[in-house]
Chains A and B, each alone.
Chain A
């Protein structure tokens, strides 16, 4: 072991003090707290992202096959082809659009879907039903999102009036325009993803009637077997059917996914400043130490220490503090996250916001996702920052002239 490494460690762990010097303990705690914040925030942000991605796949499948947004009718061949593919878990024709929905006086304009439930559905709507029954979805019933239901003030069994755009087309005729009336068969709730959730789900046939589509659909949603790479699958399908539009969910939601990532990256960037603050505090303490140890540093030089060896002492200390702070910070963060449920419940109880939390943020079950890339970035950042910060005292020590250093009297 080189002597400067030994001396660096001995200054952190002086003889007879197994816990290390107070400088070391406080520095490590500083780095650990910063790292813990980084890990907690990144893991929670990662968890949010994960939930969003899962919900998107649950509601839209892995990819969709369409004719560039135009309705199309001769899709049976494609549907067969997809359903027979061993990589495909489910393929489901759908139609989509907007309607005006009304119950009482309030009109709302939800996005609506018509889905074919004859085969395994791609939209795993049954998992999200909070009341009612999927089996009750007939041609004159409708499933409705909890959000829309509460705004319309309807419940399972209520009637909802629906005006489709085709009704407006018929306005120039002499006929009376009457809305279609649907009974609510079920209410679904997709946590986290209200914005992207369709307001109403009809049977495909009803939707085709509402939009005068005859036998046409807007697309086929495809869910793949777990572990199948959707890019490769889409590429192969495109090569096979060049005229069809085949879009994976990542392509379709690219903007949203980008925002999710951006949010996470920004949080990482902001929280890095916490580590930077800790690291600057370490640099200041080390600088004071260098000044206090001026004579000893001069003496090392008198004893023959090479010019680059003395600053190494302080860089090594910075590196070790970073490394140990990192380890401690990660452990602290993982321990906190492993008991996040009780912590959040306690906080919510204390502040009396339990209901609000569960209703709006679903914090009672905070999602967490550990990503290797986060740990790599945080580790590199913590260790590099604390090593770099110690360059300031290290350079100060390197500049000392032995003659003047050893002259300083006690």
Chain B
């Protein structure tokens, strides 16, 4: 095994504080994490423990106060804001607890727009790719449905297809089943696991559900700003 192969994401000693009023809240203090294509990571932690903050740091949405972050060997601190945004679009897919679908677009358009924003593929290929992804998440018969016409589980599946549209190498999922009932959550979780396996994507799953967390080979808990095995 070659050791020069860079990690998809390499985080070293990430720290982050927020100033709220005149008080400084230390959310993360010295987090290390590295992800390869085979990584299946779960992160648990109490509400407010900094899970979302960590994902945002990994996605380059927020900047750490201290520490280093590499995507595929690129130190992202060195990138301009514009480059960083484009690089994120290429490398990282994200899903959120509340889906964040665009209400005026139907399912197909919600997936397509991710591809159009990045413009990595040609128009005809985009449409085929979006339809294939929606098929993969089991929504090939709901292409024209608007988000308000879809159930929570279906919306999250659309959001998943959207996150995968630009063939990212890492999927960051922030409590993706947090708004779903048990049966639907299981269904969505299975689809997430199947697709990351099939597409060979690293997965970071933030969840409150101990069953889902335990299914991951690599499990962490975030406590007092530190990531514990």
Partners in one complex: yes
Task: Please report A residues at the B interface, Cβ cutoff 8 Å.
Answer: 2-3, 6-7, 10-11, 14-16, 21, 295-296, 299-307, 309, 402-403, 406-407, 409-410
Answer yes or no: B150 CB below 8 A from chain A CBs.
Answer: no
With contact pairs A300-B117, A302-B61 given, residues A16 and B146 touching in the complex (Cβ less than 8 Å): yes
Are B106 and A3 closer than 8 Å at their CB atoms? no
Contacts of A21 in B (CB 8 A): 104
With contact pairs A6-B116, A15-B144, A304-B88 given, residues A409 and B98 touching in the complex (Cβ less than 8 Å): yes
Closest chain-A Cβ to B80's Cβ sits at a distance in Å of 11
Closest chain-A Cβ to B122's Cβ sits at a distance in Å of 14
Partner of A305, one of B59, B85, B144: B85
Are A304 and B116 closer than 8 Å at their CB atoms? no
Q: What are 27 of the A-B contact pairs (CB < 8 Å)?
A: A3-B117, A6-B113, A7-B113, A10-B105, A10-B109, A11-B104, A14-B104, A14-B146, A15-B104, A15-B105, A15-B109, A15-B144, A15-B146, A296-B100, A301-B85, A303-B113, A303-B114, A303-B117, A303-B118, A303-B162, A304-B89, A304-B114, A304-B118, A305-B85, A309-B117, A406-B61, A409-B98
**Alpha-carbon gap, A406 to B144, bound state (A):** 26
Contacts of B114 in A (CB 8 A): 303-304
Q: Which of B40-85 contact A (CB under 8 A)?
A: 52, 56, 59, 61-62, 81-82, 85
Contacts of A14 in B (CB 8 A): 103-104, 146
Closest chain-A Cβ to B168's Cβ sits at a distance in Å of 10
Answer yes or no: B142 CB below 8 A from chain A CBs.
Answer: no
Closest chain-B Cβ to A197's Cβ sits at a distance in Å of 63
Contacts of A306 in B (CB 8 A): 82, 85-86
Kindly supply a per-residue 1/0 record for chain B positions 109-126, scoring 1 wherever the CB is within 8 Å of any chain A CB and 0 otherwise: 100011011100000000
**Alpha-carbon gap, A83 to B18, bound state (A):** 94
**Alpha-carbon gap, A35 to B146, bound state (A):** 35
Are A407 and B52 closer than 8 Å at their CB atoms? yes
Answer yes or no: B189 CB below 8 A from chain A CBs.
Answer: no
**Alpha-carbon gap, A21 to B95, bound state (A):** 28
Are B117 and A304 closer than 8 Å at their CB atoms? yes
With contact pairs A307-B81, A406-B61 given, residues A7 and B105 touching in the complex (Cβ less than 8 Å): yes
Closest chain-B Cβ to A295's Cβ sits at a distance in Å of 5
Kindly supply a per-residue 1/0 record for chain B positions 175-218, scoring 1 wherever the CB is within 8 Å of any chain A CB and 0 otherwise: 00000000000000000000000000000000000000000000
Contacts of A16 in B (CB 8 A): 146
Contacts of B102 in A (CB 8 A): 7, 10, 296
With contact pairs A14-B103, A305-B85 given, residues A403 and B113 touching in the complex (Cβ less than 8 Å): no
Closest chain-A Cβ to B9's Cβ sits at a distance in Å of 16
Please count the residue pairs between chain A and chain B whose beta carbons lie under 8 angstroms apart in the complex.
Answer: 72
**Alpha-carbon gap, A296 to B144, bound state (A):** 20
Contacts of A299 in B (CB 8 A): 100
**Alpha-carbon gap, A3 to B113, bound state (A):** 6
Contacts of B144 in A (CB 8 A): 15
Chain A residue with Cβ nearest B63: A403
Chain B residue with Cβ nearest A309: B117
- A299-B100, A305-B117, A406-B100 given; 20 more Cβ-contact pairs under 8 Å: A3-B116, A6-B113, A10-B105, A14-B103, A14-B146, A15-B146, A16-B146, A295-B98, A296-B102, A300-B117, A303-B114, A303-B118, A303-B162, A304-B166, A305-B85, A306-B86, A307-B81, A402-B61, A403-B62, A406-B96
Closest chain-B Cβ to A306's Cβ sits at a distance in Å of 7
Contacts of B219 in A (CB 8 A): none
Answer yes or no: B223 CB below 8 A from chain A CBs.
Answer: no
Are B104 and A10 closer than 8 Å at their CB atoms? yes
Point out which of B96, B117, B118 has the most chain A C-beta atoms below 10 A from its C-beta.
B117
Answer yes or no: B94 CB below 8 A from chain A CBs.
Answer: yes
With contact pairs A3-B113, A406-B96 given, residues A302 and B88 touching in the complex (Cβ less than 8 Å): yes
Are A403 and B98 closer than 8 Å at their CB atoms? no
Answer yes or no: B12 CB below 8 A from chain A CBs.
Answer: no
Answer yes or no: B127 CB below 8 A from chain A CBs.
Answer: no
Closest chain-A Cβ to B89's Cβ sits at a distance in Å of 2
Contacts of B146 in A (CB 8 A): 14-16
Chain A residue with Cβ nearest B96: A406
Chain B residue with Cβ nearest A3: B116
Are B56 and A403 closer than 8 Å at their CB atoms? yes
Point out which of B82, B85, B162, B166 has the most chain A C-beta atoms below 10 A from its C-beta.
B85
Point out which of A2, A6, A403, A410 has the most chain B C-beta atoms below 10 A from its C-beta.
A403
Closest chain-B Cβ to A359's Cβ sits at a distance in Å of 57
With contact pairs A14-B146, A15-B144 given, residues A302 and B59 touching in the complex (Cβ less than 8 Å): yes
Question: When A and B form their complex, which 10 residue pairs have the shortest distance between CB atoms, in order from nearest?
Answer: A304-B89, A3-B116, A14-B104, A403-B62, A299-B100, A15-B106, A10-B104, A403-B61, A304-B118, A11-B104
Chain A residue with Cβ nearest B102: A296
**Alpha-carbon gap, A302 to B90, bound state (A):** 11
